[in-house]
């Protein structure tokens, strides 16, 4: 990365932190992230064991673990998991591709901003839940409406973050690249990518979180397979423990994808010596 890119990346955000605060002294130990989940699990177990939380409302952790194991032994769990992962994977890939294309055009071109941003803002205001009946009419009850719905959910947050990051590149730095007579490739490498990458990664994290939420909606409304299908069946038979298993599966998948983006963020922004989230 060139000197210009390093200057863009470093910027002024570090001045918001006290001089004495460093990444080492400010960062909590890695295991600290597990304190709250284990505390919640302990409170849940105590509430169930004491009878304060009846099984008709929410099963105990032991009941949930037993139901989870039964689903794994029967083969239903992994079959449903693979179906859901395929759907969300296709939707994420399509949504990221569209967001990068539209966000780059809008962020780098005034005409792109004028022509493309208004419909994207309109799309942002439309609740995805409301377009499900329309998608069923258009695309039927197969996989297409689910994948497209996930793609739309992924596209909007990433588009907004990427286009805003590109539009926020300081004009002074753009003029510096012209003064230094950098080529288009050098401008992209040393200015545009370093300046837009932090915002784009934040948008990616939001997009992946939305992807799992949209998957839940699509699978619980119109699906004959997947984790959402298991939840729907369990709801019909009042199997609260199986419903919780499905919800916990979605939650764990969301946490795992967010963890992967954090790793990508640390690798892609490894030149930034500022405090990490």
Residue 235: inside a domain: no
In a domain, 178, yes or no: yes
CATH code for the domain of 102: 1.10.3720.10
* 164, part of any domain: yes
The answer to pTM > 0.85 is no
Does residue 255 belong to any structural domain of this protein? no
In a domain, 181, yes or no: yes
Retrieve residue 110's tokens.
């005034």
Tens of pLDDT along 126-171? 887 778 778 878 887 778 888 999 999 999 999 998 988 888 776 7
Please state whether 197 falls in left (phi above 0), alpha (psi between -120 and 50) or beta: alpha
**What is the rounded distance in angstroms from the CA atom of residue 132 to the CA atom of residue 152?**
12
- Assess if residue 80 is contained within a domain: no
Has residue 107 been placed in a domain? yes
Number of domains the chain is built from: 1
What is the predicted pLDDT for the residue at 184?
67
Q: What pLDDT is attached to residue 265?
A: 79
The answer to the question of residue 7 being in a domain is: no
The parent domain of residue 119 ranges over: 86-218
Please identify every stretch of the chain with a pLDDT value under 50, giving residue numbers as ranges: 1-3, 5-24, 275-276
């Amino acid at each position: 990365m060139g000197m210009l890119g390093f200057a863009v990346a470093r910027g002024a955000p570090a001045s918001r932190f006290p001089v004495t605060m460093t990444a080492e002294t400010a960062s909590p130990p890695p295991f600290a992230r597990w304190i709250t989940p284990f505390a919640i699990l302990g409170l849940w177990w105590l509430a169930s064991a004491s009878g304060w939380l009846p099984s008709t409302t929410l099963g105990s952790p032991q009941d949930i673990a037993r139901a989870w194991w039964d689903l794994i032994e029967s083969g239903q769990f992994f079959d449903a998991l693979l179906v859901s992962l395929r759907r969300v994977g296709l939707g994420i890939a399509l949504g990221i591709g569209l967001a990068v294309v539209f966000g780059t055009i809008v962020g780098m071109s005034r005409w792109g901003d004028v022509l493309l941003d208004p419909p994207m803002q309109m799309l942002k205001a439309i609740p995805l839940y409301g377009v499900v009946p329309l998608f069923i009419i258009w695309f039927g009850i197969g996989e297409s409406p689910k994948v497209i719905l996930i793609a739309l959910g992924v596209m909007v947050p990433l588009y907004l973050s990427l286009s805003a990051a590109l539009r926020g590149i300081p004009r002074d730095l753009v003029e510096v690249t012209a003064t230094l007579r950098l080529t288009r490739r050098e401008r992209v490498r040393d200015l545009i990518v370093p300046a837009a990458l932090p915002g784009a990664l934040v948008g990616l994290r939001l997009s992946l979180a939305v992807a799992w939420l949209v998957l839940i909606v699509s699978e619980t409304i119109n699906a004959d397979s997947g984790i959402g299908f298991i939840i729907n069946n369990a709801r019909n038979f009042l199997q609260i423990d199986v419903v919780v298993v499905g919800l916990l599966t979605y939650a764990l998948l969301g946490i795992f994808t967010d963890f992967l983006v954090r790793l990508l963020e640390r690798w892609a922004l490894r030149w930034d010596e500022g405090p990490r989230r």
